Structure 1
Amino acid sequence: MPITRTTRRAAATALAAVALTTLSLGALAQGSYPTKPVRVIVPFAAGSTTDIIARAIADKMGQSMGQTLVVDNRGGASGTIGQQAVATAAPDGYTVMIHSSSHTVSPSTFAKLPFDTVGDFAGVTPISSLPNALVISPAKGIKTLQDLVATAKAKPGTVNFASAGQGSATHLNAEKFKLAAKIDAQNIPFKGSAEAVTEVLSGRVDYYFSPIAPVIGQ
């Protein structure tokens, strides 16, 4: 059965918001797509920036498609657990993933991955671009960027920062800052931004280069 205009339009509507999938267009030719719920894998914990974006997209797309998009959080191992789940899923268009720039960094972060970040996925579209904000625990008494640098230099090796996982954009931003400021600080990785922000607010971690969404209300 050839892909009809209606089928193409349904597929385009469904895929316009997702970043990566193992979709086989041949599967869409078998009938009107989608005919069942679509699983949207987020490779970070609930409450992370990627999760917030994915849930907003899933809600609106579900309304326009007349089908449910189920967000499935597969956080851990810097996003590779979620990536693996998508890479091994059936290429039928019913398992897709919304990821961050960490997807492209994974091969440089890990010596060996159980999937090919290029060959095992089909990139669909960029979704969003968000600014980051440097957030510091109020309990630390650090008021400015200069204060943070001075503290780190006065007590080398005692300052730490949160990240949403090894090799994540939040981690790389912090490493770039370390090089520019010529300071020493330890990375404390978490499963997502929600956990990282909580730890910084509690004072257990010193600072975090956070996507703006989880901290805008703080």
Structure 2
Amino acid sequence: MNRLRAHSPIRRQVLQWLPTAAWLAAPGWAQAGAVGELPRPALPSYRFVVGFGAGGIPDAAARLIAASLSERWGLTAVVENKTGVGGTLAARAVLAAPADGGTLLSVSPAHATAPAVFSNVGYDTLRDFAPVTLIGDGPALIVAPHNLPARSLAEMVAQGRSRPGSLSYSSAGVGSSSHFAAALFCQQAGIDAVNIPYKSVGEAIAEVVAGRVQFHIAPYVSAAGLVKDGRVRALAVTGSRRVSDMPDVPTAAEAGVPGYEWSFWYGLLVSARTPAAVVTQLNKDMTGILGLPKVRQQLEAMGVTVAAGGPNEFRSLLEAEVAKYARIAKAANIVPQ
């Protein structure tokens, strides 16, 4: 897991990293793997459906892949943002489309949290989708405002233990990935903190900057710039090791919460009705694109380390994640709505 990114507003920053037609048309793109190095994808057109607005990693990653398909092979590839109900509207749209492999769902942990958050999503999160590939993942940062008296994660945890309820954290909404990340942190740290939900990651981080909450757990890419600009303090990184971009920021385990790890992951799914041979071919096509140097570099710039693999590997991750979020929800009393 790793790396990088500048700050705010989040949407503008991520969009700045999206490949432009001019960049893709430049000689460097063709040189970063000539067309002949990868076979032409099997389908003539692709539609990537994203359950959240432009600016998030699921959207940015889908656009990067779509741009590669369009510019490299002249194929039709579009990205559709179908927002609402925690990404479940987008999932339903993919299930309603022809199961020919041409319509893919770009997902994040929100896809796996849905069963724990919504009483009736209208589909089975695992059974109704076929994994194509994991795109990659990245760690989170636990950030705090400068007015927090605690100067380290250990000191903040000590405060939370000695004064239950004295800490609050912001999240991108009840049942969001940031809510689950903080709920698990509180469980493992042995503290009782209050969730203050907002409508987006951007709003949640803004509350930390303003000092109205004591901490937030954000994708590394969303908070690193704020830390570097001195607008918030990084208490810990949630990966298993420190990141090279911030070598002085300890892991959560090093900072006093052993065993706590969290990552934000991203991947591609299709309808489970898609023929197995088509899914296999899609996996080859998409992992081939993710292996291109320019694509990997662009994802690294978004804070995502490419971890493309086979459908079965991604299925195992999804199964484990759904089970994990169910456990976290039960312990945190997150009741499906």
Shift in Å, 1:189: 3.7
Q: Secondary structure at the match of 1:50?
A: helix
Q: 1:57 to 1:137 in 2, by over 3 A?
A: farther
Q: What is the aligned partner in structure 2 of residue 41 from structure 1?
A: 49
Assess if the C-alpha contact under 8 Å between 2:169 and 2:195 holds in 1: yes
Listed as ranges, the gaps of 5+ residues in structure 1 are 1-7, 12-27
> What is the Cα-based RMSD across aligned positions, in Å?
2.8
Q: What is the aligned partner in structure 2 of residue 10 from structure 1?
A: 41
1:126-155 Cα offsets, whole Å, 9 max, x none, are 100211111112343443112322343454
Q: Secondary structure at the match of 2:80?
A: strand
Shift in Å, 1:191: 4.7
Distance in 2 separating the partners of 1:125 and 1:189: 31
Q: What is the aligned partner in structure 1 of residue 94 from structure 2?
A: 86
Shift in Å, 1:39: 3.3
1:103 aligns with 2:103: no
Match of 2:223 among 212, 215, 218: 215
Q: How many matched pairs? A: 188
Distance in 2 separating the partners of 1:83 and 1:44: 11
| Identity %, equivalent residues | 38
Listed as ranges, the gaps of 5+ residues in structure 2 are 1-38, 227-337
Q: 1:155 to 1:196 in 2, by over 3 A?
A: same
Q: Kindly provide the amino acid, as one letter, of the partner of residue 152 in structure 2.
A: T
Normalised TM-score (structure 1): 0.70
Distance in 2 separating the partners of 1:155 and 1:186: 12
Q: 1:92 to 1:204 in 2, by over 3 A?
A: farther
Q: What is the aligned partner in structure 2 of residue 198 from structure 1?
A: 206
Q: Secondary structure at the match of 1:132?
A: strand
Q: Kindly provide the amino acid, as one letter, of the partner of residue 204 in structure 2.
A: A
Assess if the C-alpha contact under 8 Å between 2:40 and 2:73 holds in 1: no
Distance in 2 separating the partners of 1:189 and 1:202: 15
Shift in Å, 1:118: 2.7
Q: What is the aligned partner in structure 1 of residue 190 from structure 2?
A: 182
Q: What is the aligned partner in structure 1 of residue 179 from structure 2?
A: 171
Normalised TM-score (structure 2): 0.48
Q: What is the aligned partner in structure 2 of residue 70 from structure 1?
A: 78
Assess if the C-alpha contact under 8 Å between 1:164 and 1:170 holds in 2: yes
Match of 1:51 among 47, 54, 59: 59
Q: 1:82 to 1:166 in 2, by over 3 A?
A: farther
Q: 1:86 to 1:166 in 2, by over 3 A?
A: farther
